[in-house]
Structure 1
Amino acid sequence: MTYVRDTPATEDGAEPAVFVHGLGGSSANWTDLAGLLAHRLDGQALDLPGFGRSDPARSYSVAAFADRVAQVIEHEGRGPVHLFGNSLGGAVVVRVAALRPDLVRTLTLISPAMPFLDARRSAHGRMLPLLLIPRADRLAAKRLATIPPDRLARQILEVCFADPGRIAEQRMAEAIDEARLRYDVPWYLDAYVRTLRSLVATFLRAYLPGGHSLWRLAARITAPTLVIGGDSDRLVDVRVAEQAARTIPDSRLLMLAGVGHVAQMEVPDLVARSVIALLDEVRTSRAADVAR
């Protein structure tokens, strides 16, 4: 079962959108942005397998997640959609847009976890030795058991936000509820560790010969694309957003000063305005094509 959080459109003529969260996140990460865009987009944010309220899966690879996103779009009969991805979700939707262009109207990438090799540029770098240990999720579970849910939620958000003062009280309460869920769901830590391990493997393969490099896939994307990065991102190398914008043919880049890894949560108004500008640009271009 894949859990989907709906943000229904508030006006007629809205187009479908799908939002994909990052590693350890959930569909709740898109609440503010989806609400701000509801006059233009009929939104669905999904929980990737093993995260949030979705069931676990056999595989936690980027390819398997991309297949699940494509299945959700096809099952709902909503494609093509405006597709959004943050962090891990960014890598996932890059693969969807490259391999299934029929499902994508526009693409918005927020701090996409595209491959980079300098582990020092990510707070996840200190976890890499853990990935070499069999059943590393059991060690992680022991560590998790020592952290109260409210402290865990704050630690996560403080890594993701450049300015923790921007964390709204309601969003903190929701994050604490999400943290409690991680204690209750037996497969969560297995999903987290295996997903991180798979993502790291994807990074390494990106610099080897072959057609499955995420960077080579990004170069095949035809959808109009908006790439957003925060210059205070502590989880993805801040140079990645610029490289993604250079690689994807029809792309625009927005770098946000003093913003961290989850711009859609930290500065949702700024992100919403940039998305609306993309939607307006695409609408104008389509109208011009029809008029020719």
Structure 2
Amino acid sequence: MIPEVNARRFGYGLRPALAIHCSLAHSGAWRRVGEALADDLTIRAFDLPMHGKSGDWDGQRNIHDVATDMALSLLEAPMDLIGHSFGATVAMRIAIERPELVRSLTMIEPVYFAAAAQDDPEGMAEYNEQNEAFEAALAEGDRETAARLFNRVWGDGTKWDQIPAPTRAYMVDRIDFIPASSPFLGGDSAGLLAPGMFDRAVMPALLIEGSASPKAAHAINDSLMRRLPNARRVVVEGAGHMVPITHPGEVAGAISDFLAEVPLA
């Protein structure tokens, strides 16, 4: 069983695509990218478990498994997959485990820490230090501080007290999603780092990152570029981790250029 899946559509193009948002956001985060790609793509974007209008997580199954099954329930093969942060790791997993369902793979700063930890542990030192402070706040029951610390690293640069109160509350209410994601993001619970697994993802792949993003994001993309058989990489100058929100035109342009070389059939 999976939670109820709430989804919305952006665009009216010939190419069907599935878009998966980042943690603590919702499917509406794709609006501006979707509008910029409206002539070429029909994007179906869904809310992750515990997010937007989708159903809650029951706290039992691995939450990445749940999110992956929710995505699979919407796939009309073959489709172009587009994901950001946590959502990009779901897209990546489907591309590896179910490559026949994926025409192309676009990942915007996938937070697959396990790959970078294996390949470049020194590049993960800053992230590990930041994560210790986050986990300490959670252990003390200080959910707001945990959300503030998370947003400081992975947000769009807006100061916590300048974020609208309803948005802050939304993030605090869902902050448990972050540690629940760790078994996959940090521990590779699905075993994707096993020899030969990434070789299955033979479809064209695009990695997008912001030049001002956390060091961990660059280390992860370095690792994935070495692992994916058919990948290219785009850096958006001046952008941070929330690049689809802050620089939607540049992101949409990179996706458009990439998909122009991926046959629809």
- Residue 5 of structure 1: aligned partner: 8
Any gaps of 5 or more consecutive residues in structure 2? Answer: 118-123
Deviation at residue 262 of structure 1 after TM alignment: 1.8
**In 2, distance between residues paired with 1:125 and 1:197?**
12
Q: Any residues of structure 2 matched to 1:202-213 within 5 Å, and which?
A: 202-206=184-188, 211-213=191-193
- Residue 223 of structure 2: aligned partner: 243
Letter in structure 2 aligned against 1:99:
E
Tell me the alpha carbon deviations over residues 117-136 of structure 1, each in whole angstroms, 9 at most, x when there is no partner.
435237544212356x4xx7
Q: Provide TM-score, normalisation by structure 2.
A: 0.79
2:127 aligns with one of 118, 121, 127: 121
Tell me the alpha carbon deviations over residues 57-109 of structure 1, each in whole angstroms, 9 at most, x when there is no partner.
22352222112110122xxxx32211111111111111111111122111100
- Residue 31 of structure 2: aligned partner: 31
**In 1, distance between residues paired with 2:253 and 2:263?**
15
- Residue 72 of structure 1: aligned partner: 74
Q: CA 1:258–1:91 in 2, change beyond 3 Å: closer, same or farther?
A: same
Any gaps of 5 or more consecutive residues in structure 1? Answer: 166-171, 287-292
| Higher share in helix | 1
Tell me the alpha carbon deviations over residues 207-230 of structure 1, each in whole angstroms, 9 at most, x when there is no partner.
x9x944389644421221100111
Q: Any residues of structure 2 matched to 1:1-292 within 5 Å, and which?
A: 1-9=4-12, 11=13, 14-58=14-58, 59-73=61-75, 78-115=76-113, 116-117=116-117, 118=124, 120-121=126-127, 123-130=130-137, 133=139, 139-140=142-143, 156=151, 159-161=154-156, 178-179=167-168, 181=170, 188-189=173-174, 192-193=175-176, 195-206=177-188, 211-213=191-193, 217-234=197-214, 236-283=216-263
Kindly report the root-mean-square deviation, in angstroms, between the aligned alpha carbons of the 2 structures. 3.2
Contact 1:160 1:233 in 2 (8 A): no
Q: Provide TM-score, normalisation by structure 1.
A: 0.73
Contact 2:204 2:230 in 1 (8 A): yes
Report which of the two structures shows the higher radius of gyration computed on alpha carbons.
1
- Residue 168 of structure 1: aligned partner: none
Q: CA 1:60–1:278 in 2, change beyond 3 Å: closer, same or farther?
A: same
Q: CA 1:181–1:159 in 2, change beyond 3 Å: closer, same or farther?
A: closer
Contact 1:87 1:111 in 2 (8 A): yes
Aligned length: 248
Contact 2:110 2:217 in 1 (8 A): no
**In 2, distance between residues paired with 1:199 and 1:224?**
26
Q: CA 1:37–1:160 in 2, change beyond 3 Å: closer, same or farther?
A: same
User: More deviation in 59-68 or 37-46?
Assistant: 59-68
Contact 2:153 2:214 in 1 (8 A): no
Q: CA 1:276–1:176 in 2, change beyond 3 Å: closer, same or farther?
A: farther
- Residue 121 of structure 2: aligned partner: none
Identity %: 21
Contact 1:227 1:254 in 2 (8 A): yes
Deviation at residue 46 of structure 1 after TM alignment: 0.7
2:208 aligns to what SS in structure 1? strand
**In 2, distance between residues paired with 1:204 and 1:182?**
21
**In 2, distance between residues paired with 1:216 and 1:45?**
30
Letter in structure 2 aligned against 1:121:
Y
Q: CA 1:72–1:109 in 2, change beyond 3 Å: closer, same or farther?
A: same
**In 2, distance between residues paired with 1:265 and 1:62?**
23
